[in-house]
Amino acid sequence: MSDSNTRIAEIVNGNDVVLFMKGTALFPQCGFSSRAVAILDHLGVKYETVDVLQDMEIRQGIKSYSDWPTIPQLYVKGEFVGGSDIMMEMFEAGELQQFLSDQGIAAA
Amino acid sequence: MAMPAAEIETLIRAGIPDAEVTITDLAGDGDHYAAHVVSAAFAGKPRVAQHKLVYAALGERMGGQLHALQLTTAVPN
């Protein structure tokens, strides 16, 4: 396991809900990241974000970590859930709300 | 960095031969696309696995040459 994999594993296992994104929740730097933040804000759950633009090692490492080529990436309880398109599909179907509640993540 | 819509469609079909691919050029700039991909290959697979099949077909281009691709997948009715 490379160093970046170890760092990413620590982040995803140390936070119930974490979004790897471009920019910050307040200032997303990409439309897809912005959409992901909007969904999480709408659901009202507590989440952490990691700005991959501030960390090249994580920016590259996160793509191989879940074999997923794009950012943002959402992790819940250490598991990769999807990118912004999957978040949106799940949200529109009511599945994301259900999934989070099944995982014991309550709206703040 | 731009990529023609027809090329995206060809690449996806090369990886998923039965795929019905609908591409929408979201911004009219040849750089921001939405792709809707329908294939029997997705049956019984979770969404993450479905999207991975499409990303695999697009290979290295995804996230690089092809920056913005909004992706939705479905199984044929």
- The encoded tokens of residue A36 equal 């992901």
Q: Any CB–CB contact under 8 A between A38 and chain B?
A: no
What structural domains does chain B harbor?
Answer: 5-74 (3.30.300.90)
- Provide the whole-model pTM: 0.92
| Cβ-based neighbours of A85, under 8 Å, separated by 6 or more | B51, B70, B71, B72
pLDDT bin (cut points 50, 70, 90) of residue B30 is confident
Q: Class for domain A3-102, per CATH?
A: alpha beta
Which amino acid appears at position A61 of this protein?
G
Spell out the per-residue pLDDT of chain A, length 108, in tens: 578 999 999 999 999 999 999 999 999 999 999 999 999 999 999 999 999 999 999 999 999 999 999 999 999 999 999 999 999 999 999 999 999 999 999 886
B contact test, residue of A62, A63, A65, A86 with most B CBs within 10 A: A86
Say how far residue B48 (Cα) sits from the centre of its chain.
13
The answer to whether residues A43 and A100 touch, using CB atoms and an 8 Å cutoff, is yes
Q: Please name the residue of chain B whose CA is at the shortest distance from the CA of residue A72.
A: B63
Contact between A86 and B70 using a beta-carbon 8 Å cutoff? no
Paired tokens of A66: 């879940």
Residue B57, CA distances (Å) to A13, A70, B3, B29, B45 in order: 30, 14, 15, 23, 16
Tell me the C-alpha distance between B24 and B51, whole Å. 17
A69, A85, A90 ranked by CB distance to B63: nearest: A69
Binary contact (A82, B55; C-beta < 8 A): no
